[in-house]
């Protein structure tokens, strides 16, 4: 992803780092994040890193998974893994999906002034028709939720999950993910 960004915008500097412990010797007027923060459970450390990277008056703008994001899918994963395999899916869940209130409080505790917050539904069609959910599960959720399970077990589990949620998320030959997004903007006073 960074390489593609560098190719597209050769005059900009791109830095790859750990958002929980990111440091730079320079302050910036803005920090932007898209579809990344829900992968980082230590949100307080991220807020501190962003705070430290911003100059006074700088803005932080982010969009990421919010409360209830992919809830139908995650609930089905939990049900199948618990019922049929004795696996606690909650302990394997890699995501952090806060509400507006939770994330606003976290930013305000760091010292930010939240100037905009929106939580909204974004149902998203998954590519590849009937196989769309399987590809999504195998891509985004596999390493955490299904670790220790071989390919044949995973294929069975994906089918079980699909049957649990088909009525809700499969229409006209297309799977959809029940995305709910949090879009937020804050200022460092």
pLDDT 10s digits, 111-132: 999 999 999 999 999 999 999 9
Count CA atoms closer than 13 A to 129's CA, side-chain side.
3
pTM of structure: 0.89
Domain range enclosing 128: 2-187
Residue 141 belongs to domain with CATH number = 3.40.50.150
Q: How many domains does the chain have?
A: 1
| Strand pairing class (28-34; 174-187) | unpaired
- Contact in structure between 188 and 58 (CB atoms under 8 Å): yes
For residue 107, give Cα distances in angstroms to 31, 47, 60, 162: 14, 6, 10, 37
DSSP collapsed to 3 states, 39-102 = HCCCHHHHHHHHHHHEEEEEEEEEEEECCCCCHHHHHHHHHHHHHHHCCCHHHHCCCCCCCHHH
Count CA atoms closer than 13 A to 9's CA, side-chain side.
6
pLDDT 10s digits, 4-54: 888 999 998 887 888 888 888 899 999 999 999 999 999 999 999 999 999
């Amino acid at each position: 992803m960074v390489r593609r960004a560098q190719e597209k915008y050769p005059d900009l500097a791109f830095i790859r780092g750990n958002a929980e412990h990111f440091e730079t010797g320079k302050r910036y007027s803005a920090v932007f994040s898209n579809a990344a923060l829900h992968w980082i459970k230590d949100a307080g450390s991220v807020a501190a890193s962003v705070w430290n990277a911003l100059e006074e008056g700088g803005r932080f703008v982010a969009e990421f998974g919010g409360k209830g994001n992919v809830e139908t899918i995650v609930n089905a994963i939990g049900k199948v893994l618990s019922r049929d395999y004795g696996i606690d899916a909650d302990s394997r869940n890699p995501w952090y999906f806060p509400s507006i209130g939770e994330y606003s409080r976290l930013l305000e505790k760091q010292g930010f002034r939240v100037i905009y917050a929106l939580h909204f539904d974004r149902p998203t069609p998954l590519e590849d028709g009937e196989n769309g959910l399987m590809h999504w599960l195998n891509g985004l959720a596999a390493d955490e939720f299904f670790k220790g399970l071989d390919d044949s077990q995973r294929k069975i589990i994906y089918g079980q999950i699909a049957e649990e949620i088909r009525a809700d998320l499969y229409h006209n030959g297309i799977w959809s993910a029940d995305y709910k997004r949090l879009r937020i903007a804050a200022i460092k006073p």
